[in-house]
Amino acid sequence: MKILGILILVAIAVGFYFRLTGDILTGDRIIGISVLASAFILMPVFLYVRWKGKRLKDYTLSDENMKKMRDRGID
């Protein structure tokens, strides 16, 4: 995941380099593909890795969790 993130950042930098050297169309394409890759590849992989092994019930505001928060003094 770190390698993919670094590759996307490098691709964005290369895209901006192309834009600065005068090839605006190619630079825009590289930047656009990099942004799409970060949104549709990197983000879902990141979310899967971070949520693996966790229960959604622990992070929702149910009556049980509200009672636990009140008992601990967290309002």
Quickly state the pLDDT bin for 65 (edges 50, 70, 90).
confident
pTM of the model: 0.72
Question: Where do we find the tokens 């979310």?
Answer: 47
Please write the tens of the pLDDT for every residue from 9-62: 999 999 999 999 999 999 999 999 999 999 999 999 999 999 888 888 877 888
Rounded Cα distance between 39 and 37, Å, is 5
CB burial readout 50-68, b (16+ within 10 A) else e = eeeeeeeeeeeeeeeeeee
Residue found under tokens 């971070």: 50
Tokens of 10: 């490098």
Q: Is 26 exposed, middle or buried (0-12, 13-18, 19+ CB in 10 A)?
A: middle
